[in-house]
């Protein structure tokens, strides 16, 4: 999924990552956080973090890579566990080498 914090003007880098769902499907889990859908929230946010009330946009990643037209020039970080699948199955492109972690 495409996960992008909408709390604050520059809330951080969006991510492409694997989310899990509760049995009912009402709650999503990603990176140690729980998210629940917001009804009638409009285009900018569709989920809220249960722990912090921060707003997020969470959606299926798009094949054209234009997941968030408001974030022009901001490339999402693709989590290592979905890197190959994202580039080959979702984007239909050759798999680029993963970005190196600058701390390693």
Per-run averaged pLDDT (10 residues), the chain, 104 residues: 81 89 95 91 80 92 84 82 95 87 57
Q: What is the pLDDT of residues 48-62, one digit of tens each?
A: 999 999 999 999 999
pLDDT reported for residue 86:
95
**Regarding beta strands 27-30 and 20-21, do their DSSP bridges make them parallel or antiparallel, or are they unpaired?**
antiparallel
CA distances from residue 101 to 24, 33, 43, 77 in whole angstroms, order as listed: 36, 22, 32, 11
**Regarding beta strands 77-78 and 15-16, do their DSSP bridges make them parallel or antiparallel, or are they unpaired?**
parallel
Cα angle: 64, vertex 38, 89; to 5 degrees: 25
């Amino acid at each position: 999924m495409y996960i992008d914090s909408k709390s604050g003007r520059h809330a951080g880098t969006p991510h492409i990552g694997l989310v899990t769902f509760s049995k009912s499907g009402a709650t999503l889990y990603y990176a140690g956080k729980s998210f629940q859908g917001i009804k009638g929230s409009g285009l900018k946010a569709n989920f809220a973090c249960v722990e912090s009330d921060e707003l997020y946009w969470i959606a299926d990643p798009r094949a054209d890579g234009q997941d968030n037209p408001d974030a022009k020039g901001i490339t999402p970080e693709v989590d290592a566990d979905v890197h190959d699948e994202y580039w080959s199955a979702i984007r239909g492109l050759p798999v680029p080498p993963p970005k190196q972690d600058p701390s390693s």
